[in-house]
Amino acid sequence: MLAREHFDALPSLEAIRCAAREVHAVMAPTPQLRWPLLDAALGCEVWVKHENHTPVGAFKIRGGIVYFNRLREAGNVRGVIAATRGNHGQSIAFAGARGNVAVTIVVPYGNSREKNEAMRALGADLVEYGHDFAEAFGFASDQAAQRGLHFVPSYAPELVRGVATYALEFFEGVPLLDTVYAPLGLGSGLSGLIAVRNGLELATEVVAVVAAGAPAYALSLQARRLIEAPAETIADGIACRQPNADALALFLAQRIRCVTVTEAQIQDAMRRFFSCTHNVAEPAAAAALAAALNDRAPQRRRIGVVLSGANVDRDVFARVLAAA
C-alpha cells in the first residue's frame, strides 16, 4: 500500500518534472491558447489552459496516471475504490484500465448521467450511494475496509504531483502571468498550481474560485478553520460540503485569495467560453472565467484561466446555452 504522507510541504519542481515525464508518456501536453474575444471582454491578455483536451476531458487524469504508477510499484493491490462526482472517477478508471486493476467508483444519486456512462465505458464498476459527495466518500471508505480494496482519496501527494504537471506546462508556456484563476473543488489542482508557481519563483497571484452555492472553502479560509456548508450548485466539480483539512492548512499557509461566483455568473461564463472559443466548459471549469470576468482586482496585463474540464451533460449544457 502507498504510504500516507503529511502535507507539510508542496512537491518540489524536480518531483513535478519527473511526474510530467510519466504523464507525457501517456498523453500529450494540453495547449494554452489566447482568444481575441476573451481579451476584448476582459481588457487584457487572457490565456486559457485547455485541460478539456485530455483523454478524459479533464485535468484529473494526470493525477490518476502518477498515482497508479506508484500503486503498481507498491504491488499486491487486489482492486481500488474511490468516490467522485465524475472527473476523479474517470481518472481512476482510465489509469486502472491501463494497469489492469479492477476499479469500483461510488457516486451520489443524481450524479451526471454522462460522467457515469464514461466511467462505465472505462471499465469501472459504478455504485450509487448517498445524496452528495461527502456521503459517497464515507461509503467508499467503509467499503474499502470491508472488501480489502485500496481506497483512492481525492487529495493525496501523488495526485497533487500528477495534476501539478498542467501548471508546469502553463507557467512555462506563458511566462509572466499576473494572475491565474482556478476552480477549487477539494484542492489538488490548486495545490499543484501553487507548487509550480513557488518552484519557478514567480510573482503570479493564484486565485481560488468557489461557487456561492458551495461556500465551504471560502468560509473556512475566512475563518481560518474548517467549516462545513451546504453544496448546492450546478458546478458539481466544486460542490464541496466539507473541505479537506490538509488542503485547507496549505491554502492558509500560502495566503491565497478566494472569490465566489454566482450560478448566473457560472452559466454566463459557460456561454462565453462557447461563443468566444467554441470550447465546451463544464460548470466548475467555467467558474474560473466567471471569476476573471467579475473580479475587481487591480489592473491586470496578462491573466490565466484554467479550463479544468468539459464534462457536462448535453441536456444541462443545452439549457444553459438556450438561457442566453
Mean predicted confidence (pLDDT) in 30-41: 98
Q: Is 264 exposed, middle or buried (0-12, 13-18, 19+ CB in 10 A)?
A: exposed
The position carrying cell 515525464 is 21
Q: What is the pLDDT of residues 51-95, one digit of tens each?
A: 999 999 999 999 999 999 999 998 878 899 999 998 999 999 999
Which residue, among 145, 155, 134, has the nearest Cα to 81 in the 3D structure?
145
Residue 298 confidence (pLDDT) above 80: no
Long-range contacts formed by 1-6: CB under 8 A, 24+ apart: 1/74, 1/76, 1/77, 1/150, 2/67, 2/70, 2/71, 2/74, 2/150, 2/156, 2/158, 5/156, 5/157, 6/246
Could you give the angle at which helices 61-74 and 13-24 cross, rounded to 10 degrees? Answer: 90
Per CATH, 13-59+157-322 and 61-151 having the same topology is answered yes
Q: Report pTM.
A: 0.94
Residue 258 main-chain phi, psi, to 5 deg:
-120, 130
User: 14-23, 68-77, 180-189, 202-211: which has the minimum mean pLDDT?
Assistant: 68-77
Question: What is 61-151's CATH topology?
Answer: Rossmann fold (3.40.50)
Q: What is the pLDDT of residues 141-192, one digit of tens each?
A: 999 999 999 999 999 999 999 999 999 999 999 999 999 999 999 999 999 9
Mean pLDDT of the chain: 94
- Residue 319, CA atoms < 13 Å, CB-side half-sphere: 8
Task: Give the number of other Cβ atoms within 10 Å of residue 253's Cβ.
Answer: 12
Say what the pLDDT of residue 75 is: 83
Q: What is the pLDDT of residues 232-260, one digit of tens each?
A: 999 999 999 999 999 999 999 998 999 99
Say what the pLDDT of residue 146 is: 95
Q: For residues 40 and 294, what is the distance between their CA atoms, to the nearest angstrom? A: 14
Under the banding of pLDDT at 50, 70 and 90, the label for residue 297 is confident
Do residues 48 and 288 touch, judged by C-beta distance below 8 A? no
User: Which residues share a beta bridge with 34?
Assistant: 47
The Cα-based distances of 87 to 39, 114, 207, 306 in angstroms read 29, 11, 21, 15
* For the chain, domain boundaries: 13-59+157-322, 61-151
Residue 206 confidence (pLDDT) above 90: yes
Say what the pLDDT of residue 164 is: 98
Say what the pLDDT of residue 252 is: 96
Give the angle 66-90-29 at the CA atoms, nearest 5°: 50
Do residues 119 and 81 touch, judged by C-beta distance below 8 A? no
Q: For residues 205 and 215, what is the distance between their CA atoms, to the nearest angstrom? A: 21
The position carrying cell 500529450 is 28
Say what the pLDDT of residue 43 is: 94
Do residues 235 and 264 touch, judged by C-beta distance below 8 A? no
Residue 8 confidence (pLDDT) above 60: no
Mean predicted confidence (pLDDT) in 92-111: 95
Mean predicted confidence (pLDDT) in 265-270: 98
Long-range contacts formed by 271-275: CB under 8 A, 24+ apart: 271/320, 271/321, 271/323, 271/324, 272/38, 272/41, 273/307, 274/321, 275/37
Do residues 245 and 217 touch, judged by C-beta distance below 8 A? no
Say what the pLDDT of residue 240 is: 93
| Class for the domain spanning 13-59+157-322 | alpha beta
Say what the pLDDT of residue 74 is: 86
Under the banding of pLDDT at 50, 70 and 90, the label for residue 324 is confident
